[in-house]
Amino acid sequence: MKITVLAENTSKRESIGCEHGLSLFIETEEASILFDMGQTNLFSENARNLGIDLASADFAILSHGHYDHGGGLTEFLRINQKAKVYLSRDAFMPHYNGTEKYIGLDTSLSQNGRLIFTHSEVSICKGIRLYPAAENITDKFSSAGLTVLENGEFLPEDFRHEQYLEITERGRKILFSGCSHRGITNIMASFRPDILVGGFHFSKITDEDTLSEYADFLSRFDTDFYTCHCTGEEQFRFLSEKMPGLYYLGAGDSIEI
């Protein structure tokens, strides 16, 4: 399996731009997959610079309904004329940061016939499955000030629109989680993958004792972690001293696992 980062908060290459967002191009033995589309059209510009033809993607996955993961949806639908896009049935709910800043998707796209709305486990093809938001909540998770507007009232997010992509290949289970809003500990307890790729949503955590507790918990799993985006660069540096199987992915990076 080959994973190429098309958009992320950081970049190690001058020819590859970066932004607050995430987009991955995944090439497996069964399919080519676009996982998230970043905040803007940058993911497609970077794909061209990296020699990746987004028109070749067999399907796309939207991990959740926030702008920094689905802002490029219009661009993908334009570039690729055939691929279906799998997203939660709750992805187009009005998501906000507090009560002022809208951070959801472009609702004009909600009726597009190529969107496949999910609400339960979905088998897409051999070895490739989608799972809805983790329900094995053994550890609390925070809304982090994010809200959803329901019946005229701003309510704390429960991130029901989050979903995870699981790929089983050559005897290993690889899990992709865009932001792990439902809690990285809950996700790990639910899926126990061999490899996890995605953000931990630690970027606002500054307390070292809290980060150490997370590092201790995650280190109990026989898992390699390729993290990015909302984990936070400083938080990654701290965690990496305590987690030998932790790696950071930036825009333009490509790994084979």
29-53 pLDDT, tens digit per residue, is 999 999 999 999 999 999 999 999 9
Give the long-range contacts of residues 238-242, CB within 8 A, separation 24 or more: 238/208, 238/211, 239/202, 239/211, 239/214, 239/215, 242/212, 242/215, 242/216
pLDDT surpassing 70 at residue 139 = no
pLDDT surpassing 80 at residue 140 = no
Q: Give the domains, in start order, of the chain with CATH numbers.
A: 2-256 (3.60.15.10)
Q: What is the C-alpha separation between 54 and 32, in angstroms, rounded?
A: 9
pLDDT of residue 249: 98
Contact 96, 66 (CB under 8 A): no
pLDDT surpassing 90 at residue 187 = yes
237-254 pLDDT, tens digit per residue, is 999 999 999 999 999 999
Farthest-apart Cα atoms in the chain, separation: 49
Strand 115-118 with 84-88, pairing: parallel
70-112 pLDDT, tens digit per residue, is 999 999 999 999 999 999 999 999 999 999 999 999 999 999 9
What pTM was estimated for this model as a whole? 0.97
pLDDT of residue 142: 84
Confidence grade of residue 133 (pLDDT, cut at 50, 70, 90): confident
Confidence grade of residue 144 (pLDDT, cut at 50, 70, 90): confident
Please state, for a pLDDT cut of 70, what percent of the chain lies above it.
Answer: 98
